[in-house]
Amino acid sequence: MGLVRQLPRRVVLIGGGVALAAPAIVRAQSHTSATPFTLGVASGCPRPDRVVLWTRLAGGGMGEAPVDVTWEIAEDERFSRIAARGSFRATAAEAHSVHVEAGGLRPARPYWYRFHSGGQTSPVGRTRTAPADTAKPERLRLGVASCAQYEQGWFSAYRHMANEPLDLVAHVGDYIYEMSWGQRHVRKHGTANPTTLQEYRDRYALYKSDPDLQAAHAACPWVVAWDDHEVDNDYTNDRSPLTQDRDFFLRRRAAAYRAWYEHMPVPPSMAPSGPAMRIYDSWRFGDLVDLFLLDDRQYRSHHACAEGKGGRALFTDCAERLDPKRTMLGAEQEAWLRDGLARARGRWTVIAQQTLMAEVDRAAAGATEPVYWMDGWDGYPVGRQRLLDAMAARRGANHVVLGGDVHMYAVADLRAGSGPVIATEFVGTSITSQGPSSERVRTLAAHNPHLKYLRGDKRGYVVIDVMPSSCHAHFEAVDVAADPQTGKRRLASFAVAAGRPGAVPA
Ligand SMILES: [Fe+2]
């Protein structure tokens, strides 16, 4: 497609900080040779007649004045058949980000888009509209990504995703990391953990300067949800493990959500209001797939069984965990999802959310009592049960659950108790974030024989290939995360047959 070649080369980092351009970067109206499009382009939220187009004029140095940007979307790569065009006034209040809903498009076809400002033209992005609601698509190819800690590896997994023929990418969270952690860093954030809007903007600008991430965005539309690291590690709703000051944390959350909005290909209607922002949504792909994307951070109950304990939310059981009032999604989102599942018409329903849904005993080797990670679904077992019941209520449907967060590939058949299999779960590893040790993975596998596959030593992504009669999951892994030019290979594939839930090796 030539898309990758048109993107700017890896920017030079000066002193480990954000050096997207010199501070006095081009004002878009001044006709200098420097481009304001250093953060790339993106598209997202595809519907049969429209798609969201995104860019942000170079981070920092744009000044306070608004800047006019024109956009165009075409049916061909050379822009000879323009489908729609328009202009957008990028303001300092939104960090000169551009969010456009390009409408009047035709369903189920590729489009190419670009932006112009101050005599400069952006890289070209390729996108794709969703099929018409009444269409009968033969397949949907979906990439699943999560957990891209910038310091722990190059974004090679994103580069390889860009080269897959994907209709859509679902990013299920940890797109940025607010914190430095892990070993063997290949590069540095160079700044402290962000807490203010400007600091979060700078962190996004750093990540967005990566050419492999830009290539993955330019290759196809994305749907995006956050997990915790877009704000603060292991936060729950209005509570942070780092502070007792709820008001301070909500101000931080508001800054983080606003910066997330400014950098994601989501519609202008999604803009946050203070610390609140609705990001969960659903998409229909003809009669083949109903896709639900969930937010399991913003509305969740606080960690169970945590009273008087610190550390990483790994606790033995207690009565609080089983309280039916506990919720991972919040009452409103649960009701929306229950209603959406009941209305779904697709042969497959795909629920993309943040973390492993299957129950996992995380006790150390030799322990006599199970240990649960209260930050995951195991901290919300009754809410999980309600979700599985809502899926089971739609007879004849085929349910697939996708997740990330655990930095391991995992496969599980989801049942309610000892009942029949209700859904099949595939969890991606991480783009770069380091996984658990092989010894830890061995212990997890020994304690949890119901997990059909578990692998934590490889970084990469998952390709979900949905067809009317079957759904395949391919686990794609880069060879060496520390090598910027690394190759990739397919580690394993699983299949689910329509009408027969549960994964089998393929
Ligand atoms: Fe993560």
Q: What's the pTM value of the predicted model, to 2 decimals?
A: 0.93
Please measure the distance between the N-terminal and C-terminal CA atoms of the chain and give it in whole angstroms: 30
The structure tokens listed for 367 are: 């322990």
How open is the CA angle 223-374-354, to the nearest 5 degrees? Answer: 10
Task: Write out the H or E segment, with its range, that includes residue 261.
Answer: helix 246-263
Let me know if 374 is exposed, middle or buried by CB neighbors in 10 A (0-12, 13-18, 19+).
buried
Q: Give distance in angstroms: CA of 122 to centre of ligand 1.
A: 31
What are the helix (H) ranges across 326-392? 331-343, 381-392
Q: Is 121 helix (H, G, I), strand (E, B) or coil?
A: strand
Q: Return residues with CB closer than 5 A to ligand 1 (ion).
A: 147, 174, 433
Quote the ligand 1 centre to 427 CA distance (angstroms).
12
Cα–ligand 1 centroid distance for 477 (angstroms): 16
The amino acid sitting at 356 is L
CA 420 to the chain's CA centroid: 30
Encoded tokens for 143: 């990439």
492 Cα–ligand 1 center, Å: 22
- Bridge partners for 401 per DSSP: 351, 425
pLDDT values of the chain reduced to their tens digit, one per residue, 506 residues: 333 333 333 333 333 333 333 333 333 334 455 899 999 999 999 999 999 999 999 855 788 999 999 999 999 999 999 999 999 999 999 999 999 999 999 999 999 999 999 999 999 999 999 999 999 999 999 999 999 999 999 999 999 999 999 999 999 999 999 999 999 999 999 999 999 999 999 999 999 999 999 999 999 999 999 999 999 999 999 999 889 999 999 999 999 999 999 999 999 999 999 999 999 999 999 999 999 999 999 999 999 998 877 777 889 999 999 999 999 999 999 999 999 999 999 999 999 999 999 999 999 988 889 999 999 999 999 999 999 999 999 888 999 999 999 999 999 999 988 899 999 999 999 999 999 999 999 999 999 999 999 999 999 999 999 999 999 999 999 999 889 999 999 999 999 999 999 999 99
Cα-trace Rg, the chain: 22
Paired tokens of 113? 């888009």
Question: Using CA atoms, how far apart are residues 477 and 330, in angstroms rounded to an integer?
Answer: 34
Ligand 1 centroid to Cα of residue 14, in Å, is 27
What's the half-sphere exposure (Cβ side, CA atoms, 13 Å) at 327? 14
| Distance between Cα 481 and ligand 1 center (Å) | 16
- The rounded Å distance from CA 470 to ligand 1 centre is 29
Ligand 1 midpoint to CA 92 (Å): 31
Sole residue written with tokens 């003809």: 286
How many C-alpha atoms does 363 have within 13 Å on its Cβ side? 13
Q: Which of 110, 36, 32, 96 is nearest to 66 (CA)?
A: 96
> Which domains does the chain possess?
3-505 (3.60.21.70)
What span, in angstroms and rounded, lies between the C-alpha atoms of 145 and 293? Answer: 13
How far, in Å, CA of 495 to CA of 503, rounded?
A: 5
From ligand 1's centre to the CA of 336, what distance in Å? 26
